[in-house]
Structure 1
Amino acid sequence: MTAACAGLDALGVARLVGYDDVQTVASACLKLAPVDPVVTTGWVLAAAPAVDALARDLSHLTDARDIPAAGAP
């Protein structure tokens, strides 16, 4: 609902969710390992094409049962 109110379309929401997941992992790594923040920023940037591709592949789905998942929530 928030995304719709902000004017994001389905593709924008899918990108946002994907980016949030990637940056969450990068942020956690900074807390758990002695890694340079520039390195983790590079990981996020390197993941951008994969996030965009996944967003394009999933943004048309309207039924949660159609979303591919590797495990249970």
Structure 2
Amino acid sequence: MIEIVRTNDLVLIGFLQSLLENANIPVLVADAHMSALEGMIGAFPRRVLVPEGHMAQARRLIAEAGLESELRHV
């Protein structure tokens, strides 16, 4: 799995997860349960991960959605 986005924005994470899943790209949101440990203060960003074979397509979809600035540099 390759990290393509790291953010504390839960709305953005939900949007990206939906965008990728609708394109049949497997997606994993890592560190989602850290909020229980941190007390919901947003100290630990969540990571959006996709399989390496889907990385180019996922990055293209995110860029086409106008969110290219959110992508992690490879």
TM-score, normalised relative to structure 1: 0.30
| Greater per-residue strand proportion | 2
Q: Which has the higher helix share?
A: 1
Higher RCO, 1 or 2 (CA under 8 Å, sep at least 6)? 2
TM-score normalised per structure 2: 0.29
